[in-house]
Amino acid sequence: MATDSNNGAAPFLPDRLDLGSLRAAAAGCRGCDLYRHATATVFGDGPPDARFMLVGEQPGDQEDRKGAPFVGPAGRVLDRALEEAGIERDDVYLTNAVKHFSFTLRGKRRIHQKPTAAEIDACRPWLTAELAVVRPDVVVVLGATAARSLLGPGFRVTKQRGVPVPLGEALAVATIHPSAVLRAPDREAAYAGFLADLKAAARAADEAA
């Protein structure tokens, strides 16, 4: 058995691929060093027959405490935009490119730290397995980290957002991360752009159907 980190997640994958076995196996992943300080693996969540897979960066502070993706402030932005775009929650599988929270301590506060390229690569086998099991029609790529994992380092979200691009048998639609909406100087404009991209994803799914 693989006993230590830095070889990536692949040695931890189960033989049988379904969401239950993947989630159970991911709980014990030591494919990179992030498991050492985070509370627990935050695996994806949603129905196995979802038409949409939404991929974020990594769990944040609240996700790390609660063990589920997008349950903090970014999740509230996402929930609102999904509803306004006409995308039903039970048609959505939510996950992240990296499944442990990466942070630095500032006093007692845990400050979010962007995952490194090596951590994104280490964690990709889980995301690839989720894609293989759920087989979504449309993958919504939320921000640069998810884009790097799924579409490669040459993809530029700012230039290529909102336009469906092939990703295996699915279509991928990239947009900004919902946290970027919260940080934007002009939040309303940022939200409007985010919503427009989610509507493009909804149209892509209708066309795929």
Q: Which residue in the block uniquely carries the two structure tokens 């790529």?
A: 141
Pick the closer one to ligand URA by CB: 129 or 145.
145
Helix %, strand %, coil % for the chain, to 5? Answer: 45, 15, 40
Cβ–Cβ under 8 Å, residues 83 and 91: no
Where do the H-state alpha helices sit in 35-173? 61-66, 73-85, 117-134, 144-151, 157-160
- Cβ contacts of residue 43 below 8 Å, gap of 6+? 22, 23, 26, 27, 95, 99, 126
60 scored as a contact of ligand URA (CB under 6 A): yes
Minimum CB separation of residue 124 from ligand SF4 in Å reads 8
19 scored as a contact of ligand URA (CB under 6 A): no
> x/- site string to ligand SF4, residues 17 to 56, per CB under 6 A?
---------x--xxxx-xx-----x---------------
Nearest to 38 by CA among 111, 101, 122: 101
Pick the closer one to ligand SF4 by CB: 98 or 139.
98
175 scored as a contact of ligand URA (CB under 6 A): no
Looking at residues 83 to 142 of the shown chain, list those that interact with ligand URA (rule: CB under 6 A): 96
In the complex, the residues that contact ligand SF4 under the rule CB under 6 A are: 9, 26, 29-32, 34-35, 41, 98-100, 119, 122-123, 126
Binding positions for ligand URA, rule: CB under 6 A: 56-60, 63, 69-70, 72, 74, 96, 179
